[in-house]
């Protein structure tokens, strides 16, 4: 069990180094702006920049639609359907969900 824990800790250190190296290649200004949010760490920043390269090029409504966070209506004639979110980039929604949990915890 101790060997497994040591191996996992070493893997985490390796991945952290890879993330840090990759972050040097991306837009440093965007990375710094994202990391200024309390509770948003390097893993979240790396994920957002990797899976959502459109950040900074589209407005907030377009980003919300692209990620799948903009609710769409299912209305038909005079029937008013439910508003739902679906589609979009699921990985970004997962990253944002974990970031929100962290932000809620630290605020």
- Each domain of the chain, given as residue ranges in start order, spans 2-106
User: Tell me: the pLDDT tens digits for 19-78?
Assistant: 777 777 677 788 888 888 888 888 888 888 888 888 889 998 898 888 888 776 666 667
- 23 vs 90, which has greater pLDDT? 90
Q: What is the pTM of this model?
A: 0.67
DSSP assignment of the chain equals -HHHHHHHHHHHHHHHHHHHHHHHHS-HHHHHHHHTSTT--HHHHHHHHHH-TTTTTS-HHHHHHHHT-S-EE--BTTB---EE---S-HHHHHHHHHHHHHHHHH-
């Amino acid at each position: 069990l101790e060997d497994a824990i040591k191996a996992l800790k070493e893997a985490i250190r390796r991945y952290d180094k890879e993330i840090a190296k990759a972050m040097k290649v991306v837009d440093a200004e965007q990375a710094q702006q994202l990391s200024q949010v309390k509770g948003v760490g390097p893993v979240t920043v790396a994920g957002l920049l990797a899976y959502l390269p459109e950040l900074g090029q589209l407005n907030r409504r377009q980003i919300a639609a692209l990620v799948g966070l903009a609710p769409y209506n299912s209305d038909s004639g005079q029937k008013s359907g439910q508003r739902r979110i679906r589609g979009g980039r699921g990985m970004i929604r997962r990253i944002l969900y974990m970031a929100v949990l962290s932000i809620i915890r630290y605020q």
